[in-house]
Amino acid sequence: MTKPRLFSGMQPSADSLQIGNYIGALMQWRGMQDDYDAFFTVVDLHAITVPQDPAQLREKTRRTAAQYIAAGVEPSRSTLYVQSQVPAHAELAWILSTITGFGEAGRMTQFKDKSQRYGADQASVGLFTYPVLMAADILLFQAEAVPVGDDQKQHVELTRNLAERFNSRFGETFVVPTPVIQGETARIYDLQDPTSKMSKSAESQAGVLYLLDDINATAKKVMRAVTDSEGVVRYDRAEKPGVSNLLTIYAALTGREISSIEDEYAGRGYGDFKKGLRDVIVAEFEPVRARALELLEDPAELDRVLSANAERASEAAEQTLATVYERVGLLRRG
């Protein structure tokens, strides 16, 4: 029996991924490879929607791919490739942009946040149409499942709407995908500002736990995480965002219930709790970091693996694109 398709991706927007990417995405990806025909992409075309230095972008693209592999994505089993190496992404995005409403795209909260961050004059049209490219990524592969963090739910909703709209206008063409989201507990916040989502391209790195950081630096960041003055290890997102965020990380990495961690630390201070969490994170990150750095020592081999996988992805993508061109009425080259 053929396995259902899965698609997901991350932007090469930093030298290292952060723990939110690991918990919100990579851990799920790793676990779903057995049951799905999975495509994992480094979405470099998305990354250039905000300014990037060309040499650094190439380097970040390799580093992101290496971290996928180090975290357990297996390029012999899943298709791990770089988005720009498969031109069908950009081609389908154009077609989908013609059935996307201007207002519909304008309601995307990530666009609103990012355009505010860069200033309305600096925000590009590419940033505005970012979700349309994301829809193209997913629909090209007829993916049923899209494992993402909770912040990407709105984009997958848009993808569903575009798939349904295309299907009803031009005939059944796309599988309508379903987001696979762990729920609110899967959202990780900045350790210094626990009401903002942790983000790998954050301005201040003090509250971001990077996978490739030196282990001592990671340990220090955990010990310095913002908490509160109550002194009780208890989950309460509204009143205790700092401690709740640390509990979420602890539970996600160990697979334990939050209540069992609260019980373990009952009557003990935040110092003990943070030390426990620090040990959990260090044990999780150490092998991933070592493997990623090892892979990066041989960039030519990494590039070879990525190219071979892009070849595989192209074959699947071209099939969908041919059908789409046909349905839309574009005259194909003979």
Residues in region 131-160 near ligand ATP by CB under 6 A: 148-149, 151-152
Q: Of these, 6, 7, 11, 108, which contacts ligand ATP (CB under 6 A)?
A: 11
Which does residue 187 touch among ligand ATP, ligand LTN, none (CB within 5 to 8 A, set by kind)?
ligand ATP
What are the catalytic residues? Answer: 114, 197, 200
Least separation in angstroms between CB 155 and ligand LTN: 6
Q: Cβ 139 to ligand LTN, closest distance in Å?
A: 10
Instruction: Select the residue interacting with ligand ATP from 5, 6, 7, 24 (CB under 6 A).
Output: 24
By CB neighbour count within 10 A (0-12 exposed, 13-18 middle, 19+ buried), where does 9 fall? buried
Alpha-carbon Rg of the chain, whole angstroms? 21
Q: What is the DSSP letter of 176?
A: -
What single letter denotes the amino acid at residue 229? S
| CB half-sphere exposure, 183, CA atoms < 13 A | 3
256-295 binders of ligand ATP (CB under 6 A): none
CA quadruple 10, 196, 228, 257: dihedral sign: negative
**DSSP letter string, 275-319:** HHHHHHHHHHHHHHHHHHHHHHT-HHHHHHHHHHHHHHHHHHHHH
Q: What is the closest distance, in whole angstroms, from the C-beta atom of residue 149 to ligand LTN in the complex?
A: 7
Q: What minimum distance in Å lies between the beta carbon of 317 and ligand LTN?
A: 13
What's the number of CA atoms in the CB half-sphere (13 Å) around residue 298? 8
Window 165 to 194, contacts with ligand ATP (CB under 6 A) = 186-188
Q: Is 28 in the site for ligand ATP (CB under 6 A)?
A: no
Q: Residue 21 touches which of ligand LTN, ligand ATP, none (CB < 5 to 8 A by kind)?
A: ligand ATP
Element (H, E) at 19: helix 19-21
Told to check if 20 binds ligand ATP by CB under 6 A, we report: yes
Q: Which residues bind ligand ATP (CB under 6 A)?
A: 10-11, 13, 18, 20-21, 23-25, 148-149, 151-152, 186-188, 197-201
